[in-house]
Amino acid sequence: MQGWLALEDGTIARGRPFGAAGTVDGELVFNTAMTGYQEALTDPSYAGQLLMFTFPQIGNYGCHPDWMESSGAQVRGCIVRECCREPHQGQQTLDEWLRSEGIPGLEGIDTRTLTVQTREAGTLRAVLCTDGSLSPEEGIARAAVMAWPSDVNLVAGVSTTKKYRRGRSGPRVTLLDWGVKQSIVTNLAQDCRVTVVPWDTDIVGLERTKPDLVFMSNGPGDPAHPEMAPVVATVQQALDRWPVVGICLGHQILGLALGGSTYKLRFGHRGVNQPVHDTDADQVFITSQNHGFALGEMPDGISQVFTNLNDRTCEGIRGPGCWSVQFHPEASPGPLDANVLFERVREMVDG
């Protein structure tokens, strides 16, 4: 059976199904990394999206439980030029793993052309069908009227529902889970006692964990979604009590809490080769990124300390007792240039 991808602008890309059979819709986004496909597919920041890889072959080292960033696949669908059927390691092929996760995939299409189209038109809504339940024309019509994934509160669907702890020594860090990658928890737990709490934990709940520092995670969706307003208010209260650090969505929420604004990027930053300038050290980091929104104007007294060298967007801010970065210093997958930023978390606590 032939599968297809239909975009809201009328584009139809036909290919070969793999993974689970099904019909799904979502926001079509692309990732430019050559490796780390399983980490990307299990990154909660991709919730609500159809993930397309630009590298020609995906799956050539298989899939393994140790390479996951969450409990399972977070994307709605996977699109590749070629799915490798004979990987040299791993416990499952990409096809087998996606099938076990219930995620449909499509291969055999020109992902580079679709990437150029996305860059020119901006992120598009799309429908992926591998079970024959719709015609491509019906897919175009469905894509044109579907709600944007970020119109709903995606954070609530990917956050932990119960508090848990990691790490046995060091200062106490309370981590607000808005879709946290487990590599962030692992990095923090190396030198800190980490308590991970649900996305909507209020100031009373934070106080009960007796933190030395509050850490805000990555996650999917629009930071200015109405249901995130109480979260922003909680962060504003936290800023008066403890040091605060954020990554990705945490960076955007910190910006809002400080009085700034956010906006949606044309096609986002998703890959492992984004150059970021550290203005303090006059140093360039090559970074891993996955986000579709960015910080806009910030009030006086808040410094922009990291800048994306491709489009000059804000990649990091610093204010009284707080700082944040848009990129992922934990990499996973990606370069380890910025991993040293986790040392600054301990330095903030130690003073």
DSSP annotation string for 39-99: HHHT-GGGTTEEEEE-SSEE-TT-B-GGG-SSSS---SEEE-SEE-SS-SSSSB-HHHHHH
Whether 172 and 209 have beta carbons less than 8 Å apart is answered as yes
Instruction: State how far the Cα of 322 lies from the Cα of 239, in Å rounded to an integer.
Output: 8
Of 248, 269, 277, 315, which residue is the catalytic one?
Answer: 248
Residue 350 pLDDT class (50, 70, 90 cuts): confident
- pLDDT score at 277: 98
**Does the pLDDT of residue 46 top 80, yes or no?**
yes
Does residue 269 carry a catalytic annotation? no
pLDDT of 158: 98
Is the model's pLDDT at 1 over the cut of 80?
Answer: no
Mean of the per-residue pLDDT values of the chain: 97
Nearest-angstrom CA–CA distance, 216 and 62: 32
Please give the domain boundaries of the chain with CATH numbers for all domains: 3-149 (3.50.30.20), 154-350 (3.40.50.880)
pLDDT for residue 351: 66
Other CB atoms within 10 Å distance of the CB of residue 119? 12
What is the model's pTM? 0.96
Q: Please identify which of the residues 8, 27, 69, 330 carries the catalytic annotation.
A: 330
207 secondary structure, DSSP code? H
Cα dihedral 297, 300, 303, 309, rounded to 10, equals: 30
- Which residues are paired to 247 by β-bridges? 325
For strands 244-247 and 3-7, give the pairing. unpaired
Q: Which residue, 260, 161, 174, is CA-closest to 213?
A: 174
Q: What is the mean pLDDT of residues 70-76?
A: 98
Q: What is the pLDDT of residue 264?
A: 98
Neighbours of 349 (CB within 10 A): 18
Q: What is the pLDDT of residues 131-162, one digit of tens each?
A: 999 999 999 999 999 999 999 999 999 999 99
Question: At residue 292, does pLDDT exceed 90?
Answer: yes
What percent of the chain lies above the pLDDT cut of 70?
Answer: 100
Q: Is 248 a catalytic residue?
A: yes
**238 pLDDT more than 90:** yes
In this prediction, residues 272-297 reach a mean pLDDT of 96
Task: Identify the pLDDT of residue 346.
Answer: 82
- Mean pLDDT of the 241-252 span: 98
Q: Which residues of 132-170 are buried (b: 16+ CB within 10 A; e: fewer)?
A: eebebeebbebbeebeebbebbbbbebbbeeeeebbeeb
Please say if the pLDDT value at position 228 is more than 70. Answer: yes
How many Cβ atoms sit within 10 Å of the Cβ of residue 321? 15
Q: Any idea what DSSP says for residue 147?
A: P
**pLDDT average, residue stretch 269-276:** 96
* Token digits of residue 61: 């080292």
- Please name the residue ranges forming H helices in 240-321: 249-257
Note the pLDDT tens digit of each residue in 92-119. Answer: 999 999 999 999 999 999 999 999 999 9
